[in-house]
Structure 1
Amino acid sequence: MPKSWTDNEMAGKDWLTLFKRRNRFSSRRPEPCSLARATAFNRNNVNNFYNNLEDLIKRNSAFANGTRIFNLDETSTTTVQKPQKVIAPLGRKCIEKVTSGERGTLVTTCCIVSASGNALPPVMIFPRKKFKDHMIKNTPAGTLGLATPSGWMNADSFTEVMKHFIKHTNSCKENPSMLVMDNHESHLSIEAIQLAKDCGVNLLTIHPHTSGKLQPLDVGVFSAFKVYYNAGIDSWLMTHPGKPVTIYDLGEIIGAAFLKAMTPTNITRAFAKCGIYPFDRNLFTDEDFLPSTVTDRPGPCSDCLPREEGLINVNINSMNVIELGAPEETTTAHSSEHSISQTCATSEKPCSPTLGTSTTQPSQIETTVVSINHQSISKEVETKNLSDEDSILTKTKVSNTVSVPSGLQSLKILAPEVLISAISSNKLPPKPYIITPDTRRCFDTIHFSIS
């Protein structure tokens, strides 16, 4: 064993370098993935998508060869490029590259490709009130130009995109087509859906936050398109020194990148990686769904919980919830609002959480202190006079269900150890609550409707 291991009690940088070289490992910076995206890509959502896709393929024989299956998606193309890697001398820390500005102007580019490897003319959406033909000069033939105030796709512009798609695919009820896209709200306007229905376009949407795995353009085409697009802006800046890129110059740059990236090889590989064509619903393995799996953590054992003399002893494994039953005697309700309060006896005894309803007449109250363990349930009862504003309390007992009286607005869920800690510090929760042994449930409130 090396001496440095004994002195530092850890491996050094040299060992790590040789270990990675020997086992063919490398240090990689992972791509950020939000929690919503990680949990959305689960087996249930993926199976629903493939079930709908399989149903469409079976009902329309024209989709079997992939020539009538299309994918539509938008990508942002701004006037400020993302600098590419350059070669620089070792030891030089600051490497700079000229861009058009600090912040770029957005132009949305919408692409449509087919599973057979063909690409339709793109759609460019400019941040202007009105569109002018010179905005799309030097673009691929058939490019559609649109204008919106923000430069993003909206419901009106997508209707024009749908007309553009129908025109270039000759879609009709006798020659149907399938269009796979995300379910952004701009794609689901009534006008666009009705137009697709009348012209034989079958819309298949993917679940939110799953486009990184199920949308062909995102999986295998847009990455190459962005590389060529950024390189195109770099070349334009070199040939036009001292001049910034404007939205009127993007047509030529986007057109060149579009022709280089939208190749049949890139497109067909992207459809295959998504399992759309050739159809493969078993493409993704259990490892692909691991990020969406929530770890099941067992609750702590009763031996791990603090115990003191004279306090409540709870056996988590045997207790489920505390049932809040209805009052034994019917009273006239002053209001429909129910509440849980703390009521302390005149003697030195701990407070108990109680549930009640407002009444119009003074009455007596029973404060029930319940001591719970897996063998016995003991109760101590005291009485106290109440005013009109106070509540008549109900009895508590151990049960497997929660009975909620009519009119209750909300309940707070507590784990048993939280209740024990509150009793130990003589600070019971002021809000309505029930107890559950499932320590993973930490909701603030549960709301109930009043019948």
Structure 2
Amino acid sequence: MVRTYKRKTNRASTAPDTMLKAVRQVLVFKKTIRGAAEEFGINYRTLARYCTKIPREEVEGSAEHPSCAVGFIGARQVFSPELEAELVAYVLMASDVYYALPPRAIRKLAFQLAKSHQLQTPPSWKENKQASADWFASFLKRHPLLSIRTPEPANPASAFNRSHVEMFYSKVKTLAERHGFRPEDIWIMEEMGITTAQRPDRVLARKGLKQTLDRGPLVSVSCAISAGGQVMAPYFVFPRVQFREHFLTGAPAGSSGGAHLSGWMREEQFVDFLQHFVRQTKCTRDTPRLALLESHAALLSIEGLNFAKANGVVSLSFPPHCSQHLEHAVYGPFKKCVNAAVDSWMLGSPGRSITIHHIPGIVANALPLAATPDNITAAFRACGIYPLNPNEPGLVTDCLIGSVPNGSDSSGDAIERSVDRDSEQTLDAQEKSGCRLDWLSCDYTAAAETCK
């Protein structure tokens, strides 16, 4: 398909209103077809065809433009101008609220929008589950207000934007006043990867000796905690094509799961997670719940947004590079407890290897040790989400330099006692490379003792 087409002739270039005037001269004022065609500069055979094509009511009435198409019909577009204007408005709004979308995410969103409105799409759209590159190139040409830009490197010291944090706090305050959320109505969701390979503690060895770490298959665990100190039953994503109920053997009561070859959550699994969230929190349109979500491409889908809106799930994304505390207070200790549970399992099962089917039982032992009510409430308080405190220095200071704010209580000391901080963050970044988008990453804040 030619993306840039230039007309080579002036054929079929008559304006619709000019064609209607010429037809009116013939049918109403009884002028000859050849005479009217010569007067308006139209081929007489073309004018004769439109004399039968344009309805008589429009010719005898006061209409300025005919209802039928005049001239060549342009290339078939999937979206109407109104729908495409809505898509452009959403892209611009997302860019203004620290949620800029890459081209691939916009192409997937366009396919989901066409599917939700039952529009006819090219076969390649259905095969690839996204709009084509040709459509995206034409989309940019039709809307010069949009442009592809290269984001700044994901360096917290430079990419962090205080205005984004202020916008986030203002939205939290607006939603809390609008819906009257209680502490148990405010939830934070985080997705973590757990591998079947043990992650041993640091040891002393010969200098320069390198050892490779077997990563093993990865199972992602999505946990949600509330400002009231509750922890929701986790949602597992197994690296399989099809999910089977026996995968959850030994998992915490009420757990759910899905399957994807990567082991990470995608659009389909996120819709399942929302259904799991609704079941666990009992939220409805009359009793909504606020879900503070990490920001990545899996959380962007028309089906997920429609389901959340229909079931009272009010979602809000964190700004980029703003979340060290909750990682150190709840999820950092959780990973250490997982490693301790793996050590115990290996001691009790000599000669056996851990598989993905053992991970739900390991999570069931580790999660209650790390996600305690004190740790959870301290996390929400440290990052200023509940009680709402936009002036809390923890979220801003720790995003920039990773230190504990002055005047912090004993919970702040617990953050400094978290060991293996750098190694855990490095491994997490490696686990999520290729699956997550740094323009949507988020962090959290809190304080807690690490698992011994």
Structure 1 length normalisation: TM-score?
0.52
Asked whether the 8 Å contact 2:381–2:387 carries over to 1, the reply is: yes
Q: 1:76 aligns with which of 193, 205, 215?
A: 193
After superposition, residues 246-261 of structure 1 pair within 5 angstroms as: 246-261=355-370
Shift of 1:35: 4.5
CA–CA distance in structure 2, aligned partners of residues 35 and 95 of structure 1: 30
Is 1:177 the counterpart of 2:177? The answer is no
Structure 1 partner of 2:19: none
Q: 1:167 aligns with which of 279, 282, 305?
A: 279
Shift of 1:291: 5.7
Structure 1 partner of 2:219: 107
Shift of 1:43: 1.4
Asked whether the 8 Å contact 2:196–2:217 carries over to 1, the reply is: yes
Shift of 1:112: 0.8
Is 1:123 the counterpart of 2:123? The answer is no
After superposition, residues 201-216 of structure 1 pair within 5 angstroms as: 201-212=313-324, 216=326
Cα distance, 1:110–1:155 mapped onto 2, change above 3 Å: same
Structure 2 length normalisation: TM-score?
0.51
CA–CA distance in structure 1, aligned partners of residues 359 and 401 of structure 2: 38
CA–CA distance in structure 2, aligned partners of residues 132 and 246 of structure 1: 15
CA–CA distance in structure 2, aligned partners of residues 95 and 81 of structure 1: 22
Structure 2 partner of 1:40: 159
Q: 1:268 aligns with which of 377, 381, 385?
A: 377
Deviation digits for residues 404-450 of structure 1, max 9, x if unmatched? xxxxxxxxxxxxxxxxxxxxxxxxxxxxxxxxxxxxxxxxxxxxxxx
Asked whether the 8 Å contact 1:117–1:265 carries over to 2, the reply is: yes
Q: 1:49 aligns with which of 168, 171, 179?
A: 168
CA–CA distance in structure 1, aligned partners of residues 321 and 391 of structure 2: 20
Asked whether the 8 Å contact 1:79–1:104 carries over to 2, the reply is: yes
CA–CA distance in structure 2, aligned partners of residues 102 and 74 of structure 1: 21
CA–CA distance in structure 2, aligned partners of residues 212 and 289 of structure 1: 7
Deviation digits for residues 297-330 of structure 1, max 9, x if unmatched? xxxxxxxxxxxxxxxxxxxxxxxxxxxxxxxxxx
Asked whether the 8 Å contact 2:323–2:399 carries over to 1, the reply is: no
Q: Alignment partner of 1:67: what SS?
A: helix
Q: Alignment partner of 2:155: what SS?
A: helix
Cα distance, 1:51–1:252 mapped onto 2, change above 3 Å: same
Q: Alignment partner of 2:386: what SS?
A: coil
Structure 1 partner of 2:259: 147
Structure 1 partner of 2:353: 244
Q: Alignment partner of 1:120: what SS?
A: coil
Identity %: 36
Q: Write the letter of the residue equivalent to 1:56.
A: L
After superposition, residues 199-348 of structure 1 pair within 5 angstroms as: 199-212=311-324, 216=326, 218-284=327-393, 288=398
Cα distance, 1:291–1:261 mapped onto 2, change above 3 Å: closer
CA–CA distance in structure 1, aligned partners of residues 246 and 311 of structure 2: 31
Shift of 1:36: 2.8
After superposition, residues 347-426 of structure 1 pair within 5 angstroms as: none
CA–CA distance in structure 2, aligned partners of residues 156 and 37 of structure 1: 31
Asked whether the 8 Å contact 1:124–1:145 carries over to 2, the reply is: yes
Shift of 1:199: 1.1
Cα distance, 1:171–1:279 mapped onto 2, change above 3 Å: same
CA–CA distance in structure 2, aligned partners of residues 259 and 289 of structure 1: 27
Asked whether the 8 Å contact 1:129–1:148 carries over to 2, the reply is: yes
CA–CA distance in structure 2, aligned partners of residues 57 and 37 of structure 1: 28
Shift of 1:42: 2.8
Shift of 1:148: 0.8
Is 1:132 the counterpart of 2:241? The answer is no
Q: Write the letter of the residue equivalent to 1:278.
A: P
Shift of 1:46: 0.8
Q: Alignment partner of 2:193: what SS?
A: strand
Cα distance, 1:159–1:280 mapped onto 2, change above 3 Å: same
Cα distance, 1:287–1:260 mapped onto 2, change above 3 Å: closer
CA–CA distance in structure 1, aligned partners of residues 344 and 218 of structure 2: 20
Shift of 1:45: 1.3
Shift of 1:81: 2.2
Shift of 1:242: 2.1
More helix by share: 2
- Structure 1 residues without counterparts, runs of 5 or longer: 1-33, 293-451
Shift of 1:85: 4.5
Structure 1 partner of 2:102: none
Shift of 1:94: 7.8
Cα distance, 1:239–1:211 mapped onto 2, change above 3 Å: same
Q: Write the letter of the residue equivalent to 1:189.
A: S
Deviation digits for residues 228-252 of structure 1, max 9, x if unmatched? 0011111111222222211111121
Cα distance, 1:139–1:94 mapped onto 2, change above 3 Å: farther
Cα distance, 1:104–1:290 mapped onto 2, change above 3 Å: closer
Asked whether the 8 Å contact 1:70–1:113 carries over to 2, the reply is: yes
- Structure whose CA Rg is larger: 1
Q: Alignment partner of 1:38: what SS?
A: helix
CA–CA distance in structure 2, aligned partners of residues 257 and 76 of structure 1: 14
- Pick 1 or 2: higher relative contact order, CA cutoff 8 A, min separation 6: 2
Asked whether the 8 Å contact 1:43–1:289 carries over to 2, the reply is: no
